[in-house]
Structure 1
C-alpha cells in the first residue's frame, strides 16, 4: 500500500480505463459516437471493479467531429443515469484529453467532487462510408442547427487559405522543413529519422489489440511514395500522417484515494496523476516568431521534467503526440532523449488510429495499463492545432507526498522566450530568403504547387507560390541532399496578384 501524508480524500487517482473499437461488417450496424462513449465509460467502470457512476460529479467529453449532437455531454450523462455538477463538452484540440484528466484530478484535489470521467469517441469510418454509399444511419438525428466547431481556416490569414497551407497536413511540413534545417540535417537525413521513428510507432500499434492498423511497417515502407502511400505534402506520405477514419471510444475514471479504498479497488490498479503543465502558441501560425522550435512545447516539457529532477530518462514509459513526425522529433530533443527513445505506449495516430481530438484518451488508457504492468512513472504529452496547444501530465504508481498543484500554466515562461515576430505582407518584390517550405500534391501524385515561407529584404514574412511548371525551383526545393531553407531567390507577382518565388 502506497504511503502518503496527504489527506486521502484529496488525492486523485485513476481507477478505471475502458476502450471500444467498432468494426461493423454492415455499415448500418456501426455504433454512433454517443454509444461508443457510453460503452467506453461502462468498460472503465467495470475495469475499476467498483460501482462509482452513481456519485459521478465531473464529466468531460472530448470534442468529436464525425457526428453532431445537441449537448452531447448531457445526453451521455442521461444515458449513464448521472447528474454531474461539472458536465462539459469542450472545443477542438488534440491535447484536450490530457487537459481534462488533469483538470478532473485538480477538481478532486480541491474536494469539489469525488468521482470524475473523461471520455472521447469518433465514428468517422462508419460516417464516411455511409455518406459515400448513400446509406442512412439509424443514429441520433444529426443536429444540423448546431454550429460546427471552428478549425484551421477560421484562424488563418486569407493568403494561407488561398495557397492551401491552412490544414494540419499542409502546415506541419513547414515545421518539418524548418526544424530539420535548424538541426543541421539534410532532407534525406530528416526523412530517415522520421521513418525510423514512425516504424517504432507501428511496431507498438501492431502489438496493441485496440489498434486500427495492426501492421508493422519498415522505415522505407513509410517514407517511400507509392500509389497506395502517396505524397500528400512534402515530405509527408500517407503513412506519415494521422488516420482519422476510425471508430473508437475511450474513457478514464478517476476518484479520490479515500473513495477508491472505501469501495475496494485493488491497490495495484491505482495510478496517480502527480502533476503537469500547459501552454499555447497563437492560433494563427503566421504570427509566431519562428518554426524550428515551439516555446510552449519547450516550457511544458521542461516543467514536467522538473517533476522528475530534470531527467526525462526517469520516465519508464512516455507518449509523445504523433500527428506528424516533426512533433515527437522536437519533443524528444527537448526532453534530452536519443533516437532509441520508445515514444509511445499506444501506437501513434497513423497506426493505432486518430479519433481526431481523442487519441490521447486512448494514450492515457494505454499508459495506465502499462504502469499497472510495471515501472513507476509515465509521461503523457498531448498537442493540438498546428503545434498550438500543449499539455503534459505525469502519472505514477506511487501516491504523491505533495498536493497536486492547481496553477499549472507555464504560459509566462513560453511567452518570455518569444522573439520579435516579423510583419506579414502580401505585397513584396526583390529578394526573398526561404524560412520554410512545402510542396502540395494532387491525389494522382502530380505536384499541385509549392509554397515557400519567405523573409523579404525588409525582414517581413510572406507566403509565395511555386507554380507546378517551375521545374527548376521545384527541383531546388526537393533536393534531398541540401535543404533549401536559407536560400535566396526572386520574389515576383503572379497574374492573379499572388506572390511567387523563383530560385536565383
Structure 2
C-alpha cells in the first residue's frame, strides 16, 4: 500500500524517546520518575520532527505507566511521589491534554496502551496521544545512604483517570498464606514445571537458561542506557558465586530482572493525517501491522505451569493480522524478566532461543534493566529506531504479572492501514479451556509437581506445588517444620520432581512432609494453663473467658489456636454438656487484632475458623455467648456461630470491617443475612450500623437481654436449663436441625432430619427419660 492510499485516520508512531540518570555518573541529577518521564517525552517530540508547540497543543491523551512504588497496596515511595503523574508530566512539557491516564500495574501495559490508543485514533476518537514511563528506583534506594534526601512529592491539578492496581487474580489467599508475594518465587515454580514437562535435569535447565540469556548480555553491553554493560558467558550467569548468589532455585541473581534503575521512555502516536499536517517527515513514520492482547488463566489453575499459551497465541495472532510470518521479523524483543518468560514463548512458537536475529533489542530486564511496568516502552523505542534504519519489521512481546497477560505489536515502516485484531474471540477460547482445581486445604499423599527454594539472608525457604494422588487437585505447601526431610529432599542429589510426599492443611496454609507422622493429631485434652483465655469447669458447664482485656479481647492467631484446642476438648468430653464464651473486663470481643496484623505477623485462623469456632462443623453440643460488652467484627461472628446468646443491656453488636478496608469474612457475610432481615444485614455490613442489645434481641441475634453486668449470670442460668435436659436429645436435635437446614421443602427436610433420630432408639437417655416421667422422678441422664 502506498502512502497515498493510507487512510488519514491510520495510527502511526511518530516519535520515541528515552532518558537515563545513573547513580554514580558524573552528570547524575537525582531525577524523579516524573522528571525522567518528561525528559523522555521531550525526546520523543524532538524525534518526531513535528512542530513541538503544535503537537503539544493537539495532544489529547497522555498516559503514564504505573510506577513501581504504586504497584502494590503498601507504599514503597520513600522520597514521596506525584499525586497525579500524567498531569505532572504534562506541566513539565507544556501540555494540557483532555485525558490524563495513570495506567494499571503490569509489564504488558506499554504495548497494550499502544494498541488501545491506536484503536482510539483509528476510530476517530483521538488524533495525538503520548505514552510515558519513568522510574527512579535506584535513586530511591541510594537515598537511604544520604543525610539530605531529595523529595519526589508534588501536587498537580487536573482530572486523572486512575486505573488502579490491576492485581485481581494474581494475589490470592493461597499466595499470601505460603509467602508467594514476590514474582521471583513464582517464576521459579514455573521454571521447574517446564523442566518437568521436558524431562530436563537441573544441569540441562541451567545450561538452557544461560544460553538464552548470554546473548542478551552482548546486546546490553552495546546499549549506553543499560544498567549492566558487562558481557557474560552462559556458565557465568548460572554458576552461584560471589556477586551471583542464589535468589530462588533455579535463579541466581544474574538471571533475575534488575529493578535498580533510573530510566524514562516515551512513545508519541498520531493519526497519519495529523502527522502530515504537523510536518512529520514520512520517513519517520512507523506503522502497527498487527497487535494482540491476551490474558492467561489464574496461575494455579493452569494445566501446565511451565507453559504460556496466551503469550504464544498473542504472538501468532499479531503476526496473522500483520500478514507475516516468524521468519519475516528481523527485530525481536521478548519480555525477559526471567528465562521462563522467553523460553515458554519460544517453546510454543518453535523459535530457537539462540535465534541469530536475537530476542532482545535492549539487553533484557536483567541487564538493560527492569524499570517497573515501563520496560516494554523502551523495547518499543528501540524497535522503532531499528525498523526506521533498515526498513524491516520488528516485534515486541510484553509480559505482565505471573505470565498473566501478554501484549504484542508488529512494527514496520511499510505503510499499512490499521486492522483491528480479534483478541476478544481468542480470549474466549482460552478462558473456556481446561483448568486445574486448587485444594485450599489439602490432605493426603501427593506428588511434587514443581518446587523452589528461596534463599533470603535469613535462610532457605522451600515451597512445594503438588497434586493429590486421590483426586489430582493441585496445592501449594510449605515444609512442616518438624520434618527436615523435605528440605533435604529438595536440596538433595535426587530430583524432587515427581517425588511422593504427604500434605496436610492447617489454618496458616498447607504443610508438606515426607510421611504423615508429623501431622498425627493428639487426642483432644485441656491444658494446665492458657495464655490468652481462661477456662473453668462448673459442673456440666465449661466457661471460656477471652482474656485479652488490654486489646478489648481482640483475637490473634495464638488465641485462635488456644480456643480451637479448648473447643476440641469440650466437644470430646462426655462430662461437659454445655459451654459459655464470654470476655474479660467490660467487653466481649473486638474482633481481629489489627495491631498484630499491622506488626507484619501473618494473620490466620485455624481450620475451625475465628476463635476456633466460626468454620467448625458438627458442633452438636450447645455453646452460649455471654455478651458482656461490645461484640464487633469477629466478636459478633462468634455470637452468630453460638447456638444461644445473652447480651448485657449496654452491649453493642456490629461488623465495622468496611471501615478498615476488610470484610466480615469469618461467617458474618453469610450468617448475618440468615439471621436478620436482609436490609438490616446490608446496613450492618455495608454501613457499619451497630445494634443495641434490645435491637439484637428483637431481631433474633440474641435470646435474652440481661441487666448491666448480668450477662454471665444469665448465660449460666440458661446453661443450667440446657443441661437439665437429656444431653443425647440436645445433641441429636442440633444434628437434625443442621441436616435439615439446606433442604428447602419442609417434608423433605423432616425426612432428612429423621436420619439421626434412629439413634434415639438405642439411647439410654431415651429410656431413662420415659421411665423417669412414668415414675415421677428427676431423670438421671447418662449422656449416651
d(CA) in 1 for partners of 2:411, 2:377: 14
Structure 1 residue 257, shift from structure 2 partner: 2.1
1:83-232 alignment, distance < 5 Å: 83-141=96-154, 150=165, 155-232=170-247
Q: Which residue of 2 aligns with 1:54?
A: 57
d(CA) in 1 for partners of 2:10, 2:421: 13
Structure 1 residue 484, shift from structure 2 partner: 3.1
Query: Are the counterparts in 1 of residues 23 and 138 from structure 2 also a CA contact under 8 Å?
Result: no
Describe the superposition over 1:397-450 as per-residue Cα deviations: whole angstroms up to 9, x where unpaired.
Answer: 1011x433165433113223x213213232312x11112111111227x42334
Q: Which residue of 2 aligns with 1:486?
A: 498
Shifted more, 306-315 versus 469-478: the winner is: 469-478
Is the aligned partner of 1:379 residue 2:391? no
**SS of the counterpart of 2:415?**
coil
Q: Equivalent of 1:304, from 318, 326, 338? A: 318
Q: Equivalent of 1:369, from 381, 385, 390? A: 385
Query: Are the counterparts in 1 of residues 132 and 267 from structure 2 also a CA contact under 8 Å?
Result: yes
**Judging changes above 3 Å, is the alpha-carbon distance between structure 1 residues 493 and 95 closer, same or farther for their aligned structure 2 residues?**
closer
Q: Equivalent of 1:254, from 262, 269, 280? A: 269
Query: Are the counterparts in 1 of residues 293 and 314 from structure 2 also a CA contact under 8 Å?
Result: yes
d(CA) in 2 for partners of 1:152, 1:260: 36
Describe the superposition over 1:290-314 as per-residue Cα deviations: whole angstroms up to 9, x where unpaired.
Answer: 3122232232122123235563121
Structure 1 residue 62, shift from structure 2 partner: 0.5
Shifted more, 294-303 versus 378-387: the winner is: 294-303
Query: Are the counterparts in 2 of residues 425 and 460 from structure 1 also a CA contact under 8 Å?
Result: no
- Unpaired runs of 5+ residues, structure 1, are none
**SS of the counterpart of 1:30?**
coil
d(CA) in 1 for partners of 2:451, 2:155: 39
Is the aligned partner of 1:329 residue 2:343? yes
d(CA) in 2 for partners of 1:248, 1:274: 28
Query: Are the counterparts in 2 of residues 187 and 479 from structure 1 also a CA contact under 8 Å?
Result: no
d(CA) in 1 for partners of 2:143, 2:480: 37
Structure 1 residue 237, shift from structure 2 partner: 1.0
**Judging changes above 3 Å, is the alpha-carbon distance between structure 1 residues 454 and 133 closer, same or farther for their aligned structure 2 residues?**
farther
**Judging changes above 3 Å, is the alpha-carbon distance between structure 1 residues 331 and 404 closer, same or farther for their aligned structure 2 residues?**
same
Q: Which residue of 1 aligns with 2:642?
A: none
**SS of the counterpart of 2:3?**
coil
d(CA) in 1 for partners of 2:239, 2:480: 24
Is the aligned partner of 1:13 residue 2:1? no
Query: Are the counterparts in 2 of residues 28 and 135 from structure 1 also a CA contact under 8 Å?
Result: no
Query: Are the counterparts in 2 of residues 98 and 360 from structure 1 also a CA contact under 8 Å?
Result: yes
1:346-357 alignment, distance < 5 Å: 346-357=362-373
Query: Are the counterparts in 1 of residues 254 and 366 from structure 2 also a CA contact under 8 Å?
Result: yes
**SS of the counterpart of 2:130?**
strand
Query: Are the counterparts in 2 of residues 302 and 334 from structure 1 also a CA contact under 8 Å?
Result: no
Is the aligned partner of 1:3 residue 2:22? no
d(CA) in 1 for partners of 2:199, 2:481: 28
**SS of the counterpart of 2:514?**
strand
Is the aligned partner of 1:343 residue 2:359? yes
d(CA) in 1 for partners of 2:281, 2:193: 49
Q: Which residue of 2 aligns with 1:428?
A: 443
RMSD (Å) for aligned C-alpha atoms: 2.9
Q: Which residue of 2 aligns with 1:437?
A: 451
Normalising by structure 2, we get a TM-score of 0.59
Q: Which residue of 1 aligns with 2:254?
A: 239
1:252-331 alignment, distance < 5 Å: 252-282=267-297, 284-307=298-321, 309=323, 311-331=325-345
**SS of the counterpart of 1:204?**
helix
Q: Which residue of 1 aligns with 2:698?
A: none
**Judging changes above 3 Å, is the alpha-carbon distance between structure 1 residues 470 and 220 closer, same or farther for their aligned structure 2 residues?**
farther
**Judging changes above 3 Å, is the alpha-carbon distance between structure 1 residues 497 and 205 closer, same or farther for their aligned structure 2 residues?**
closer
Shifted more, 216-225 versus 26-35: the winner is: 26-35
**SS of the counterpart of 1:351?**
coil
**SS of the counterpart of 2:448?**
strand
- Unpaired runs of 5+ residues, structure 2, are 70-76, 157-161, 517-784
d(CA) in 2 for partners of 1:119, 1:257: 21
Shifted more, 466-475 versus 418-427: the winner is: 466-475
1:62-81 alignment, distance < 5 Å: 62-66=65-69, 67=77, 68-81=81-94
Structure 1 residue 40, shift from structure 2 partner: 0.6
Is the aligned partner of 1:40 residue 2:40? yes
Q: Which residue of 1 aligns with 2:590?
A: none
**SS of the counterpart of 1:185?**
coil
Structure 1 residue 56, shift from structure 2 partner: 0.6
Describe the superposition over 1:129-169 as per-residue Cα deviations: whole angstroms up to 9, x where unpaired.
Answer: 213545431433499xxx99647698433343232223101
Is the aligned partner of 1:419 residue 2:422? no
Please tell me whether Structure 1 or Structure 2 has the larger radius of gyration of its CA atoms. 2
Shifted more, 346-355 versus 27-36: the winner is: 27-36
**Judging changes above 3 Å, is the alpha-carbon distance between structure 1 residues 453 and 161 closer, same or farther for their aligned structure 2 residues?**
farther
Structure 1 residue 208, shift from structure 2 partner: 0.9
Describe the superposition over 1:56-79 as per-residue Cα deviations: whole angstroms up to 9, x where unpaired.
Answer: 112111000344321211222233
Q: Which residue of 1 aligns with 2:460?
A: 447
Normalising by structure 1, we get a TM-score of 0.90
d(CA) in 1 for partners of 2:120, 2:107: 21
Query: Are the counterparts in 1 of residues 451 and 462 from structure 2 also a CA contact under 8 Å?
Result: no
Structure 1 residue 466, shift from structure 2 partner: 3.0
Structure 1 residue 473, shift from structure 2 partner: 3.9
Query: Are the counterparts in 2 of residues 58 and 86 from structure 1 also a CA contact under 8 Å?
Result: yes
d(CA) in 1 for partners of 2:221, 2:229: 4
Query: Are the counterparts in 1 of residues 450 and 465 from structure 2 also a CA contact under 8 Å?
Result: yes
Structure 1 residue 21, shift from structure 2 partner: 0.4
d(CA) in 2 for partners of 1:487, 1:53: 62
